């Protein structure tokens, strides 16, 4: 019963009372049209709703910001509805860019109505949608609201820039051909060494300089085999290293970087895995190719910074998840207590690359504060931390997020990583 009906009932009572009090038949007659109005509404009062609500999302897997079409179909499987107000509730992170998400209509039995509109969504997985409906009589004196939940899945993955090939050189490679030097002789591009000539070796590979020696032996050039490798990407999703400002969060940049790196390594044929380390430990097991890329992007779509006191520092990282002597790429703003963990990874034989979105410059840019003593002190602390990490043999990219990732990667990571010799063998 709406307030309009209550008002009208009160008016009818008032008119009747005035009519009785003043003994005027004509005043009583004024109540009749009002009563007729109320009785008509009573006759058309909405019954229990029996609506079938279906939702189609096209496409159901899209990059961030891409237009997505939502089609909502409502079929009436019950009695006729004089007035049906439909409002499709947009989840948080979704904005409407075209079409209509609300409508007022009537529905006879077995009739159907469609709403179609276009949205753009932030990165994430959208599983539950609500539709609010209200059935009314044609005078809107009686209302029967209801809420329907539909569950088609929509995954919006992060968009990411295309990076130039990043040169990595883990100690161990896999058996398939690829772009990474395998530290073994065979067919390839880079000169590796020489061996004695064997019948069947191509003439163009004979090392004629050595052949000019007095011993008259022939030697054949051999080249370094190029293979694919295992690459493990670790996305740091700990809330304590994230910086949230009014314009966004540093974590979003980390996610985009992780997506771009995964694409880059998978495109080279490498076997890539992902660990999201934060409120829990989300994992994508190692794999190749397009399907692996989709799995990684879906995992990144759901990634959120979180708090877990057991995972406050990187010491709980499951390094056993990564094959021995493989390449680890850590995407993290870093904190000083992460340094021993990175050094330990190097000690275990992993090649480590750190892509570190710079929280100092990110926050300073918000306040345009690049000259204060606090900024200089924080910058110096971070610089010292990064040097300690570099000294352990890890490649480090200190990424100011206002600079495109492609540019930062091109300047630092597209060069061959240095080979650092330590006692007992060559490490890279």
Partner 1 sequence: MTIKSILPGLIGTAALIYTLTFAAAQEYLIALLAFALGFIWLLLEIKRLKPPATLFFLFFVGLAIIGCVQDGPVLLMLLGLSSTLAAWDLSRFQSRATLDGEIEMTAGFEERHLRRLAIVAGAGFLLALLPLLATLPMNFVVLAVVLLVTMSVLRRAFLTLRQTTPEEVD
Task: Give the residues lining the site for partner 1 (CB under 8 A).
Answer: 1-2, 4-5, 7, 9, 11-13, 15-16, 18-20, 22-30, 32-37, 40, 42, 45, 48-49, 51, 82-83, 85, 100, 102-106, 113, 138-140, 142-149
Minimum CB separation of residue 21 from partner 1 in Å reads: 10
Say if residues 231 and 178 touch (Cβ distance below 8 Å): no
Minimum CB separation of residue 126 from partner 1 in Å reads: 17
Closer to partner 1 by Cβ: residue 90 or 365: 90
Minimum CB separation of residue 43 from partner 1 in Å reads: 10
How do beta strands 351-357 and 395-399 pair? parallel
What does the DSSP 8-state code read for residue 74? E
Round to whole Å and give the CA distance between 235 and 256. 10
Closer to partner 1 by Cβ: residue 24 or 302: 24
DSSP H stretches of helix in 279-338: 289-302
Minimum CB separation of residue 127 from partner 1 in Å reads: 13
In sequence order, which residues have a C-beta less than 8 Å from that of residue 92 and are 6 or more positions away?
A: none
Closer to partner 1 by Cβ: residue 87 or 392: 87
Place of tokens 């077995």: 110
The HSE-up count of residue 172 (CA atoms within 13 Å, CB side) is 12
Minimum CB separation of residue 65 from partner 1 in Å reads: 24
Closer to partner 1 by Cβ: residue 27 or 79: 27
Residue 421 tokens read as 């010799």
Minimum CB separation of residue 88 from partner 1 in Å reads: 12
Closer to partner 1 by Cβ: residue 77 or 403: 77
Dump strand ranges (E) for 17-153.
51-58, 61-63, 68-76, 81-89, 94-99, 102-107, 112-121, 124-126, 129-136, 143-150
Closer to partner 1 by Cβ: residue 47 or 369: 47
Residue 8 tokens read as 């009208």
Closer to partner 1 by Cβ: residue 48 or 422: 48
Round to whole Å and give the CA distance between 28 and 10. 14
Residue 348 tokens read as 């275990």
Closer to partner 1 by Cβ: residue 151 or 198: 151
What are the Cα distances from residue 82, in Å, to 46, 87, 134, 136, 224? 8, 17, 11, 6, 79
* Cis preceding-peptide flag for 24 (omega within 30 of 0): no
Closer to partner 1 by Cβ: residue 142 or 379: 142
Closer to partner 1 by Cβ: residue 140 or 388: 140
Place of tokens 């400002």: 245
Closer to partner 1 by Cβ: residue 117 or 251: 117
Say if residues 122 and 64 touch (Cβ distance below 8 Å): yes
CB-count burial class (<10 Å; 0-12, 13-18, 19+) for 377: exposed
Round to whole Å and give the CA distance between 121 and 123. 7
How many residues are recorded in the chain? 428
Q: How many angstroms from the chain centroid is the CA of residue 77?
A: 39
Minimum CB separation of residue 111 from partner 1 in Å reads: 10
How do beta strands 327-331 and 230-236 pair? parallel
Minimum CB separation of residue 13 from partner 1 in Å reads: 6
Minimum CB separation of residue 102 from partner 1 in Å reads: 5
Say if residues 136 and 83 touch (Cβ distance below 8 Å): yes
Q: Which helix (H) or strand (E) holds 317?
A: none
What does the DSSP 8-state code read for residue 268? T
Minimum CB separation of residue 99 from partner 1 in Å reads: 11
Minimum CB separation of residue 86 from partner 1 in Å reads: 9
């Amino acid at each position: 019963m709406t307030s309009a009906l209550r008002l009208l009932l009160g008016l009818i009572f008032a008119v009747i009372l005035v009519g009785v009090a003043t003994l005027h038949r004509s005043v009583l007659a004024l109540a009749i049209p009002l009563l007729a109005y109320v009785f008509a509404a009573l006759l058309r009062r909405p019954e229990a709703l029996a609506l079938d609500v279906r939702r189609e999302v096209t496409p159901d897997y899209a990059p961030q910001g891409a237009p997505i079409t939502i089609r909502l179909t409502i079929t009436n499987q019950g009695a006729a509805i004089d007035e049906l107000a439909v409002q499709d509730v947009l989840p948080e992170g979704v904005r409407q860019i075209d079409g209509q998400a609300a409508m007022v209509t009537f529905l006879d039995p077995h009739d159907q109505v469609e709403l179609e509109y276009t949205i753009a969504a932030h990165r994430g997985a959208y599983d539950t949608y609500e539709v609010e409906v209200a059935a009314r009589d044609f005078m809107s004196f009686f209302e029967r609201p209801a809420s329907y939940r539909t569950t088609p899945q929509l995954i919006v993955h992060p968009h990411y820039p295309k990076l130039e090939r990043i040169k990595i050189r883990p100690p161990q490679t896999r058996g398939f051909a690829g772009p990474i030097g395998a530290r073994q002789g065979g067919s390839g591009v880079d000169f590796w060494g020489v061996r004695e000539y064997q019948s069947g070796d191509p003439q163009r590979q004979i090392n004629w300089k050595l052949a000019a020696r007095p011993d008259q032996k022939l030697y054949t050039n051999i080249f370094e085999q190029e293979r694919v490798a295992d690459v493990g990407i670790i996305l740091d999703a700990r809330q304590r290293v994230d910086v949230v400002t009014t314009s966004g969060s540093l974590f979003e940049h980390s996610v985009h970087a992780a997506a771009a790196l995964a694409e880059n390594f998978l495109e080279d044929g490498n076997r890539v895995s992902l660990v999201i380390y934060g409120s829990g430990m989300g994992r994508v097991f190692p794999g190749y190719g397009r399907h692996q890329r989709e799995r990684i992007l879906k995992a990144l779509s759901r990634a959120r910074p979180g708090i877990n006191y057991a995972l406050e520092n990187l010491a709980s990282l499951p390094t056993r998840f990564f094959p021995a002597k493989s390449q680890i790429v850590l995407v993290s703003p870093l904190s000083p207590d992460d340094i021993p963990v990175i050094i330990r990874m190097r000690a275990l034989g992993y090649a480590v690359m750190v892509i570190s979105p710079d929280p100092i410059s990110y926050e300073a840019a918000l306040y345009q504060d690049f000259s204060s003593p606090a900024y200089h002190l924080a910058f110096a602390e971070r610089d010292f931390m990064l040097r300690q990490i570099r000294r352990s043999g890890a490649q480090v990219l200190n990424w100011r997020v206002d600079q495109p990732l492609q540019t930062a990667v091109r300047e630092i990571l597209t060069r061959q990583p240095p080979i650092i010799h330590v006692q007992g063998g060559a490490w890279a």
